[in-house]
Amino acid sequence: MSEPSRLDRTFSIIMNRMVETGQAPFYTEIATELGVSAEEGRQALHDLFEAGVSGWLFPNTDYVASFAPFSNIPTQYRVTIDGHQKWFAQ
């Protein structure tokens, strides 16, 4: 089986962090997970959204605002699992 692409790995890093903590990672954290420089982590983040992943970056920043089905910005759609509310939905 072939290795996952950088886009696949970036997607997984963000999704796993959203599920675990309710917050998206910053690009420097993505870079650490990918084993690349901070600039390459930032580019991986932008490449993922430019590829059409469902979500968006906060305008004129490198901050993940939304990563379907999650929102990194509090919304009226709160998600509670096993009595823990640490997620927001789009």
Residue 77 lies in a domain: yes
Structure tokens at 42: 């930032």
CA distance between the termini of the chain: 34
Any idea how long the chain is? 90
How confident is residue 89, by pLDDT bands cut at 50, 70 and 90?
very high
23 DSSP assignment: S
Q: How many other β-carbons are positioned within 10 Å of the β-carbon of residue 75?
A: 13
**Residues paired with 80 in a beta bridge:** 85
Summarize the confidence of residues 9-28 as an average pLDDT: 96
What percentage of the chain exceeds 90 in pLDDT? 90
Q: Please name the amino acid found at residue 84.
A: H
Residue 1 lies in a domain: no
Residue 46 lies in a domain: yes
For 46-77, what is each residue's pLDDT tens digit? 999 999 999 999 999 999 999 999 999 999 99
CATH of the domain at 82: 1.10.10
What residue numbers bound the domain in which 49 lies?
6-89
Instruction: Tell me how many domains the chain contains.
Output: 1
Give the per-residue pLDDT at 1: 59
Calpha distance 62→82 (Å, rounded):
32
Calpha distance 3→25 (Å, rounded):
22
Calpha distance 2→65 (Å, rounded):
31
How confident is residue 45, by pLDDT bands cut at 50, 70 and 90?
very high
